[in-house]
Amino acid sequence: MFRRNALPVFVPARTALRLAALLLAALPWLTTPCVAGQTGELWVAFGDSLTASQKWPWTEILAQETGNTVINSGHNRTTTRNALRFLKHDVLDRKPDLVLVMFGINDQRIPNDARPGAYEVPPEEYARNLDTIITRVQATGARVVLLTNRPLVQGPGAPTRNFYLDRNGGKGALYTLPRKTKDSIQLYNDIVRAKAREHGAFLVDIWKAVVNRAGSDRDEDVLKLGLDRPGDLLDGVHLGPGGARFYSDTIRAAMPFR
């Protein structure tokens, strides 16, 4: 309780420095706003095939359980570079209240006709593209929610499995991926986390949610979560019904509703 005539409290210099250090360490959390979810709004989900997910879209579950209209503006095989062409028509012209943005899986691919280690969309360009998407959406007054990407199941899998790394690493493939694909995805995820802080956007960290639930990012642990498409459709990337439920639940848990 505040008392006007209370005596001043003297804090030792060492203690004051420790308190200041703790406050500075907390700043990244303090500068990321807590965007409260609303009902009866228009939301747009803007992303690649992990958003499009024609058979098991997480956007449908999210719409049903939040009471909002959620338009799925996901495009297969899309990067942030391509997304800039779709931004006005697919997002801005719809005048949404909130936009969920998730790109990166395709940006971090390495075209086979490129020099070794050259990403489809280099990290520096990916960061600029996110800047453009975020600032243009926020300029309309809409709230922005950025999502990181999940850990992929890299393989190699059994001969009957068509995991991402096996599928994209063979001779004649359009794209190849380094054995440390998860490190590459985390490089792009770190850019997403940084942009959320810089722009005051809300962050839903799908990667961390998966790892926390699975116990690690190892293939065998991630597979046990049941995120992936069932049967012969399983590729270690795209979502099945369990993955759609996981994404929707993770978004809802991260965005408190009022």
What does the alpha-carbon distance between residue 73 and residue 102 come to, in Å, rounded to a whole number? 11
- List beta partners, residue 145: 100, 202
pLDDT in the model for residue 232: 66
SS3 content of the chain, % helix, strand, coil (to 5): 45, 15, 40
Residue 41 has pLDDT above 90, yes or no: yes
Every domain of the chain and the residues it spans: 40-254
Helix residue ranges, H only, the chain: 13-30, 49-52, 58-66, 80-90, 123-138, 164-169, 181-199, 206-214, 219-224, 241-254
Q: Are 84 and 131 in contact (CB under 8 A)?
A: no
pLDDT single digits (tens) 220-241: 898 888 888 877 666 778 888 8
Q: Are 135 and 203 in contact (CB under 8 A)?
A: no
The domain made up of 40-254 is a member of CATH 3.40.50.1110: yes
Which has the minimum average pLDDT: 69-78, 140-149, 156-165?
156-165
Q: Which residues contact 198 (CB under 8 A, 6 or more apart)?
A: none
Average pLDDT, the chain: 80
Residue scoring higher pLDDT (39 or 87): 87
